[in-house]
Amino acid sequence: MTSVSKKVRYAVVGSGQISQQAFMPGIGQTNNSQLAALVTGDPVKADKLASRYGIKAWSYDDYGQLLSSGEIDAVYIATPNAHHTYLAVDALAAGIHVLLEKPMAASVEDAEKILEASTTSAAKLMIAYRLHHEPATVQMITRARNGEFGDLRAFTSTFAQNVAEENSRGHNGYWGGPVPDMGTYPLNAVRNLFGEEPVAVHAVGTKAADRGFDFHDTVAVTLRFPSKRSAQFTVSYATASAESFTLVGTKATIVASPCFMFGPSIGISYVEKTDDGEKTHSFDPVEQFGNETQYFSDCILKGTDPEADGEEGLMDMRVLAAVEQSLKTGETVVLPPARRSKQVQPEQALKLKPAKEPSEDEMISIIPQSK
Ligand SMILES: NC(=O)c1ccc[n+]([C@@H]2O[C@H](COP(=O)([O-])OP(=O)(O)OC[C@H]3O[C@@H](n4cnc5c(N)ncnc54)[C@H](OP(=O)(O)O)[C@@H]3O)[C@@H](O)[C@H]2O)c1
């Protein structure tokens, strides 16, 4: 980054739904980040989106040239999961910072390659866990860690939506399906609420007869943790929308809903239930994509390491891979004990105001995610 540039200059790589709906508008709410380029395989997007945001468009063939152009400091990678690895590895090798959409990759081996590239690069890698900067989520994690709900015993969650088979996540096998796409949310939530890593994973999957997915469209996962805690979550691509979790401790139960989604009208909130009664903790909607970008740019500008690093991404990936294995074999998969070196910190919660979301009509060449 040149000393003249005070803002981190991002190239958006892959201008699908999440880039157009959330990241590109959201970055405008930050004070330390700016859109500088777009990488797309679609000439219509290259023309219209680049002119809408006043930036230059590059093709995937010219990606290496962009990385060494001196025109960007960072990339935001939002391609389908199976295309994350080479884009992240090449950027890190070129000394370009990487904000990488979740899940980190489409196999543990690929996630390890990205982690390895980040450890040998001076550039930083952050996995785009937007909820690590969302005030209600950070408060629940912090209070759970401080013992305010007592000893934590159990977690249950449902996260579901009606996904279109035509969308890239609807026809690319397990790694485009509901477990990596949606299961990452309850999985990441419970790992951070419990502050430990699961050691056993079991999954059961079903396929709706009236749907055309090439994978289990509804999956129920059970996890066992070292401290004799358990977690269960169910994810689906074939139902009406649902999102909630319940965390049960010896002093309190908390029920959160909404708890995973984003948007200008979505304020995450939770109800805390104890023997003394119920208390609702409500929070205003925040700009979740702007928040994560503001935080990552701050790390880049100050030379600090982001919390949601490659290790955090890999901790989710090894469980997602174990779910895939359990679905194939019907067996419980035992994972070796693991421990993270970082934790979500209270000061990571940010409160940028939500950007205006474009309507579906305003988004260009999108294959909508929802039916
Ligand atoms: N953090 C969140 O809340 C959140 C929410 C949704 C999705 N995500 C993550 O963001 C990523 C993208 O999701 P999305 O919903 O934006 O997906 P999407 O609508 O299918 O868009 C993906 C984009 O990637 C580009 N692309 C490059 N190679 C491709 C290929 N071989 N096939 C299809 N597209 C290709 C295309 O953009 P061009 O036409 O510009 O090349 C495409 O529009 C995924 O990793 C997903 O898990 C995160």
**47, HSE (Cβ side, Cα atoms, 13 Å):** 3
Cβ neighbours, 10 Å, residue 267: 16
- Quickly list DSSP for 92-116: HHTT-EEEEPSSS-SSHHHHHHHHH
Task: Give the model's pLDDT for residue 6.
Answer: 83
Task: Give the model's pLDDT for residue 246.
Answer: 98
- Dump strand ranges (E) for the chain: 8-13, 33-39, 56-58, 74-77, 97-100, 125-127, 152-162, 200-206, 218-224, 230-236, 238-249, 253-256, 270-274, 277-281, 333-334
* N-to-C CA span, the chain: 42
Q: Where are the domains of the chain?
A: 8-130+289-308+344-348, 135-285+321-334
* Most ligand 1 atoms within 8 A of CB, residue of 76, 165, 168 to mutate: 168
Task: Give the model's pLDDT for residue 5.
Answer: 55
* Tens-digit pLDDT profile for residues 26-52: 999 999 999 999 999 999 999 999 999
User: Which regions of the chain are under pLDDT 70?
Assistant: 1-5
Task: Give the model's pLDDT for residue 73.
Answer: 98
Residue 149's identity, in one-letter code, is F
Task: Give the model's pLDDT for residue 4.
Answer: 45
181 Cβ below 6 A of ligand 1: yes
Task: Give the model's pLDDT for residue 370.
Answer: 82
The yes/no answer on whether domain 135-285+321-334 falls in CATH 3.30.360.10 is yes
pTM here is 0.97
Q: What is the C-alpha to C-alpha distance for residues 73 and 5, in angstroms, rounded to an integer?
A: 10
285 Cβ below 6 A of ligand 1: no
Distance 15 CA to ligand 1 centre (A): 7
80 Cβ below 6 A of ligand 1: yes
Q: What is the C-alpha to C-alpha distance for residues 124 and 96, in angstroms, rounded to an integer?
A: 8
Cβ neighbours, 10 Å, residue 272: 21
Q: What is the C-alpha to C-alpha distance for residues 334 and 326, in angstroms, rounded to an integer?
A: 10
The helices-and-strands tally (H runs, E runs) of the chain is: 11, 15
Give me the CATH topology for the region 8-130+289-308+344-348. Rossmann fold (3.40.50)
